[in-house]
Amino acid sequence: MIKLIAVDLDGTLLDGENRVDDRNIRALQRALDMGIYVVPATGRCMGVFPQELTSLIGLRYAVTENGALIWNYQGEREWRRMGLPRGKAGEILRMAEGGSARAEENPANAVEFQVYAEVFIHGQAYADIRSLEGIEATPLGRNFIRYFTENHNFVVGLCGQETLLDAAEKVNLYFPDAADGAGVRSRLEQDAMIKTASSICGNVEVTAAGVEKGAALWELAQQLGIGRREILAFGDNENDLGMFAAAGTAVAMGNAGERVRQAAGHVTGTNDEAGVAAFLEKYVI
């Protein structure tokens, strides 16, 4: 019997327009009404959750920021939080912008990347005001523009905001050129103090070492007295693989890549076909 449904957002619950289909909402509300925990499990922070999701009645927990922060809706508080090491967020931002210490020592070796960066701090998204300059022309597309320009806190000189950055849980980097993202990720993976992941092409998500959706989901499930066989998880990308391992039933979206499909026991419809609802209607509710 399923007691907990963990559902990824981007590429899973959200469609290609970054909206939540009414059918998905109805299915999740039905599950909640049946007494099943519905747990959003996402790389997003609380501040950029879609309103349709947070309006669900009976929602109690959310695994956010790839597991860096677990939110308790009933208490309106952080249930568990794992921040980046002190000074690490600023270091990542400077490196991604071609301003690493090595580049500063030898400017001739500096590499300039076009990158959009956001930092998650206590569940809120922060970005540099400079990111908005010319964003209408970014090849990342209108969905990204809508996401990045809504519900963010824009500050001047984000890299220099040390006090703010020292409280960061996660840094997200979005590269219009996927090759730039791959190069930056390769460098970041050499740092044992952090963990990298990706949820869409060209992005790099950075948290503290040990932070992972699956670990956070399993920690929450244990506190709720829920066993692995009682967990159902939906996902579509690399950062969902750990969550699949923590679940007794893992469901890949029809739009998921081959690696994710192979890691799942089931494949449902795409995110544009309300694949989450389709599976729940057939097997759970």
pLDDT 10s digits, 140-196 = 999 999 999 999 999 999 999 999 999 999 999 999 998 889 999 999 999 999 999
The CATH number that applies at residue 259 is 3.40.50.1000
Shared-domain flag, residues 116 and 92: yes
Measured between alpha carbons, how far apart are the two ends of the chain, in Å? 11
Q: How many residues are recorded in the chain?
A: 285
pLDDT above 90: percentage of residues in the chain? 88
Shared-domain flag, residues 124 and 265: no
The DSSP bridge partners found for residue 170 are 120
Of 101 and 200, the one with more pLDDT: 200
Quick check: helix, strand or coil at residue 90? helix
| Domain boundary residue, one of 187, 208, 229 | 208
Shared-domain flag, residues 121 and 190: yes
Shared-domain flag, residues 222 and 203: no
Measured distance CA(218)–CA(215) in Å, rounded: 5
Shared-domain flag, residues 13 and 55: yes
Shared-domain flag, residues 102 and 193: yes
| Domain boundary residue, one of 208, 243, 264 | 208
Q: Tell me which of 74-83, 106-115, 161-170, 253-262 is least confident.
A: 106-115
pLDDT in the model for residue 110: 47
Per-residue DSSP letters for 187-250?
Answer: HHTT-TTEEEE-SSTTEEEEEETT--HHHHHHHHHHHTT--GGGEEEEE-SGGGHHHHHH-SEE
The boundaries of the domain holding residue 250 are 4-81+212-283
Shared-domain flag, residues 235 and 181: no
Shared-domain flag, residues 92 and 195: yes
Instruction: Say which residue the tokens 């220099």 belong to.
Output: 160
List the strands of the sheet with 116-121, edge to edge: 152-155, 124-128, 116-121, 168-174, 203-208, 194-197
Shared-domain flag, residues 171 and 102: yes
- What's the domain count of the chain? 2
| Domain boundary residue, one of 175, 208, 241 | 208
